[in-house]
Amino acid sequence: MTAPGERVVVRAPAKINLALRVGALEDDGYHDVVSVYQAVSVFEEVSASLPRDGVTGVTVSVRGTGAASTPLDGSNLAVRAAHLLAERAGVPADVALSIRKSAPVAGGMAGGSADAAAALLACDLLWGTGAGRDELERMGAELGADVPFALMGGTALGVGRGDQLTPVLARGEFHWVLALADEGLSTPAVYRERDRLLADAGEQAPALDAEVPGGLAQALRSGDAAALGAALVNDLQDAACSLRPALRRVLDLGRDHGTLGSLVSGSGPTVALLVPDRSAALELAVALTASGLTSDVRRVTGPVHGARQVDAVAPSPFHPSTGANPTVR
């Protein structure tokens, strides 16, 4: 166990969906999915410290992108992760969590899931619980479908609820421009809109094959960005665009600027646009910024590693005991 007063810092990546196929609504209220995830260079950072001055329980403070709209109570996925690990390991749930956010809240990039993944690993290292990656991934799946992938990173196929993962070989580096929105989209609302659009059209959700769709696998194996762009697919895209029509203008702008492919990531509203290289990424980022269609633009690459320890030092000035809005749960 880390000595009192020290801290463990873990970073976990956000994701985009290279493919998202959505099955029919099941009796339990969920949809089975087949998803191909790619971890990209947008990292959530969680610092875990043993509390000072006799404080017990889990404290959390947040800074960075969307900090004002990130919950500080027991609904925060990082807080839930700490409690879950403590319960399974039989140790006191005493930890001060500091979260530095980079991914948009409710943006379809699983930023909250990355927080949970980082908190699981950070608390495991801090408390010395000795949980292996497989065990952490199983706990992560209880917290949310995207949490196991934030632990794994890279590129992976997810089936079931998206949490049953198989690594996918991806050669080379892919360049993405992310167009972020100033307001998130509710994932349940997007799924409901998907069901409504299918019903209105008299169509049924497709039967799902538990494999990487179409030419996506070959494109990833060969590192062929143009082929990857042609294979991108998201069954939720029409629903997200129905709820947020401005997303179509972002997709149109990307096509006008010669992107290799683009799609709404997950349930949106983040739009991921694939370009051939860094120069093209900069050009597109400038065009998107000038358009006024987005609240923020990021140039990122993928795939990147999953949750990983990056530091273990004495506390920095940013600490729940002195930082903004500490909350004990």
Q: For residue 5, which of 310, 309, 327, 316 has the smallest C-alpha distance? A: 316
Q: Is 154 marked as binding a ligand?
A: no
Q: Which of 32, 115, 146, 235 is catalytic?
A: 146
Q: Is 104 marked as binding a ligand?
A: yes
Residues 138-159 as b or e (16 or more Cβ within 10 Å = b)? ebbbebbbbbbbbbbbbbbbbb
The token duo for 128 is 């010395």
Q: What number of other Cβ atoms are within 10 A of residue 279's Cβ?
A: 10
Question: How do 155-159 and 174-180 pair as beta strands?
Answer: unpaired
Residues ≥6 apart with Cβ < 8 Å to 18: 36, 37, 38, 155, 216, 220, 228, 231, 232
Active site residue 101: no
Q: Is 110 marked as binding a ligand?
A: yes
Q: Is 145 marked as binding a ligand?
A: no
Name the phi and psi angles at 222, rounded to 5. -90, -10
Q: How far apart are the first and last CA of the chain?
A: 22
**3-state SS, residue 220:** helix
| Residue 78 amino acid letter | A
Q: Is 179 marked as binding a ligand?
A: no
Question: How do 164-167 and 7-25 pair as beta strands?
Answer: unpaired
Active site residue 15: yes
Q: Which of 15, 32, 101, 115 is catalytic?
A: 15
Q: Is 162 marked as binding a ligand?
A: no
The DSSP string of 56-107 is -SEEEEEEETTGGGS--STTSHHHHHHHHHHHHHT----EEEEEEE-SPTTS
Q: Is 153 marked as binding a ligand?
A: no
Q: Is 152 marked as binding a ligand?
A: no
Residues ≥6 apart with Cβ < 8 Å to 313: 6, 7, 9
Report the half-sphere exposure of 267 (CA within 13 A, side-chain side).
21
Q: Is 215 marked as binding a ligand?
A: no
- The residues annotated with a catalytic role in the active site are 15, 146
The binding site comprises: 104-114
The binding site for ATP comprises: 104-114
